[in-house]
Amino acid sequence: MKHYPSDLTDGQSQLIEKALNDSYKRTYSLREIWNAMRYRVKTGCQ
C-alpha cells in the first residue's frame, strides 16, 4: 500500500483507537479511514 505524508503515525493511530475504545467489527481499519480523510483534507477535491 502506498503511504502519503498525511498518513497517521503509529502513535497517532493508537491514540485514536484508544480514545474510541469500541469493539465494533469493521470492514476497514480506523487507521485507513482516518488516513483517507486526512488525505482529502490536505489535497482537497480537485
Could you report the per-residue pLDDT of 2-14, keeping only the tens digit for each?
A: 788 889 888 998 8
Instruction: Answer yes or no: is pLDDT of 32 > 80.
Output: yes
Look at the chain and report how many structural domains it folds into: 1
Distance CA 12, CA 46 (A): 27
Q: What is this structure's pTM? A: 0.68
User: Looking at residues 3-26, what average pLDDT do you find?
Assistant: 85
Asked whether 8 and 16 are in contact (CB, 8 A), the reply is yes
User: Looking at residues 37-44, what average pLDDT do you find?
Assistant: 89
Q: Is 35 helix (H, G, I), strand (E, B) or coil?
A: helix
Q: How far apart are the first and last CA of the chain?
A: 22
Domain membership of residue 18 (yes or no) is yes
Q: Which three cell numbers stand for residue 34?
A: 482516518
Domain membership of residue 20 (yes or no) is yes
Please tell me which residue, 45 or 3, carries the higher pLDDT value: 3
In this prediction, what percent of the chain has a pLDDT beyond 90?
11
Domain membership of residue 4 (yes or no) is no
User: Which range marks the domain in which residue 15 is found?
Assistant: 10-43
